[in-house]
Amino acid sequence: MFRKRPSSPADAAWRPTARPNLNLLVFLLLANLFVYAVLGIVAHGSYREIKEKAAARSRSLNALLAENVTAELARIKLGLAACAAEVARERRTGGAANATVPDFLHLVRGQLPMLANLIVIDRSGTVIFSSDHPATTRSAADRAYFQRFAADPSLTFQISEPLIGWMVEKPVMHLVARIPGRDSAFDGLVVASVTLDWFIAKFQAMDIGDQGAVVLRGDASRNFDLLARFRPTGKIGETTVSDTFRATIAANPDHGTYEANAGNDNIHRMFSYRKLDGFPLITLVGLASDDYLEEWRQKAASLLAVALGFTFMSGIAGTIIVRTWRSRAEADAQIRLLLDYTASGIVGIDPQGRCTFCNPAALRMLGAKGEPDLVGRDIHAIIHDQGGDHPCRPASCPMLAEAPPTDQGIHRDVFRQLDGRSFPVEYWAHPQRKKGEFIGTVVTFIDLRDRLLANTDGLTELANRHRFDEALADAWTQRLRTEDDFALLLIDVDHFKAYNDTYGHIAGDDCLRQVARSIQRALERDGDLAARYGGEEFACILPGTDEAGAQRVAERIRAELAGLALSHEGSSAGPRVTVSIGIVAVPPNCPAEIKDVLRAADALLYQAKAAGRDRVCARTLEAPARAADPTPAPTEA
């Protein structure tokens, strides 16, 4: 099957050197060290980035939680102050048996749905009013909070330690306000009971992962007593905290972030804490490292698999090379070509155009099950002449030419497989001579389909940014050569961050795909190109199109998208997904440059967004390329 070729200087280059094994071993060792070092740097950088994101997310969640809890406690405090003032007023005016106080207290209680009970205690500790439960006959005089108010005339408001409510019969936290008496005398208390379950219900609603924790504690003045905790560990009221937390909060009393193995579960978490404004309380949000590092562990495992795979493959490759050096000092021409171009298809052709040999890649690319499907057959008839419609005839086919190519010998063509399907290729034809006589040709070809896929955005299936840049440069060169019209559209999905925040990133990806299809459907001609410009931005290159034509395309895009009626509750531009579009048209005589067109399109897109979004702003460039302001006098459509 293979034809032996005489020795040549090129063959001599393949003969083993004096120390091939040692040189190869050093090379493989250095290559593996380099791969492991690069992947290690990538893994470490990814680890740091994920930890920083976890810390930022913990801080963000805690800020929202602290703001919400502070607002609720402030409402309760304000309601207590109003109740205490009403009771004091009724007593000063001598109202009959506090006639209006119960109605007022019930009114306040109705405005505070988070309360489990609202009670009034007189100066002796007797409960004289209870909003939600029958009043207890027990005296509150032995409660610690009652004694503190009775002993300290300056104390007007306080949050009690967690305790079991006598009437609520659940763990509660009391918010207590003094009833002002005459001459600052102690005249009783108004007490709002909030169950710890109310706090825990708020904590449970937060997205903190499978092992995250949310905690409410007192501040340093209360020795950080535990009030409520989602995923509870430890006892309510205990003051045991990690040394890391104490050191961090001592340095930054108001808010901060730290890592610790906290709680009796001993789970490592990234904590953020924040002191509630106006209250002696602290909220903490902890994200478990096992949760937020899961994605990194998978990536690290993938990187390790890549490194081990490289080591394995390089070891196999090294073994094969060493064996080849030892067993085949003289390789014939065809085997050498197969070793050189294993990633490409290779076929040998005799002077009559018949296939003399082929490699596995060629069999695979041409759809052959084995060598008998190709060897001995007219290769030109298989690749080019199926159906008789290929413009390349045998007399002019570079694969059959005896003369060596005058250029680089690279040809772009379309080959056909045995089943008639075609695919784009790039091939090299190498005429072979023996003693000056033409003995055939070796053709090496590669499948360009993967290269074409490399120019496609994986999410939207439009052209990617790299392809857009190439196409823009080509279209601009064509415009200069033909002196034709040209238009460029920049498109932005309105309030797309809000869409992701509302519906999630998976829904956001689907939204981008549907927007991309709408844009593709709106294009008129094969020469028009739609591309993903970046993130939620898209671009359209419209050669030979003036401003009016570009506006028609833009309105078709908007109409296509309107027909989908994709809901977007987070958009101020409307209840559906919309786009803003900036259009720049360039007439044949305009001396603008590509950068001017991009700058003007970006400015018009910005203007469309600033004007309320869901609109088109268009303009035809007339000024010289280096005018002071490339974006005046836009036309809004």
What φ, ψ does residue 498 adopt, rounded to 5°?
A: -65, -35
How is 377-433 classified by DSSP, letter by letter? Answer: SBHHHHHT-GGG--S--GGG-GGG-SSPPSS--EEEEEEE-TTS-EEEEEEEEEEEE
CA 402/CA 45 separation, integer angstroms: 56
What φ, ψ does residue 274 adopt, rounded to 5°?
A: -150, 130
Question: How much is the pLDDT for 342?
Answer: 64
Mean pLDDT for the chain? 85
**Cβ atoms 490, 582 nearer than 8 A:** yes
For residue 166, is pLDDT > 90?
no
Question: How much is the pLDDT for 98?
Answer: 52
Q: Which residue has the tokens 């990187």?
A: 303
Average pLDDT score over residue span 333-356: 73
List Cβ<8 Å contacts ≥24 apart for 203-207. Answer: 203/65, 203/228, 203/229, 203/230, 204/230, 206/61, 206/65, 206/230, 206/285, 207/61
pLDDT confidence bin for 468, thresholds 50/70/90: very high
CA 527/CA 545 separation, integer angstroms: 11
| C-beta atoms surrounding 288 within 10 Å | 21
For residue 19, is pLDDT > 70?
no
Q: Which residue has the tokens 């460029």?
A: 488
Average pLDDT score over residue span 513-537: 92
For residue 176, is pLDDT > 90?
yes
Average pLDDT score over residue span 460-467: 90
CA 442/CA 346 separation, integer angstroms: 7
Q: Is the pTM of this model over 0.75?
A: no
pLDDT confidence bin for 500, thresholds 50/70/90: very high
Tell me which range, 58-72, 219-233, 621-635, is most confidently predicted by mean pLDDT. 58-72
CA 69/CA 281 separation, integer angstroms: 10
As a whole number of Å, the CA-based R_g of the chain is 39
Average pLDDT score over residue span 45-74: 92
Question: How much is the pLDDT for 263?
Answer: 63
For residue 633, is pLDDT > 70?
no
- C-alpha 616 chain-centroid distance: 28
Can you list the alpha helix ranges (DSSP code H) found in 273-378?
Answer: 289-292, 294-327, 333-340, 360-365
**Cβ atoms 283, 254 nearer than 8 A:** no
User: In 3-state terms, what secondary structure has residue 90?
Assistant: helix
- 353, two tokens: 């155009």
Average pLDDT score over residue span 277-288: 93
Question: How much is the pLDDT for 167?
Answer: 84
pLDDT digits (tens, 9 = 90+) for 242-270: 888 889 998 999 999 998 886 667 888 89
Average pLDDT score over residue span 543-572: 93
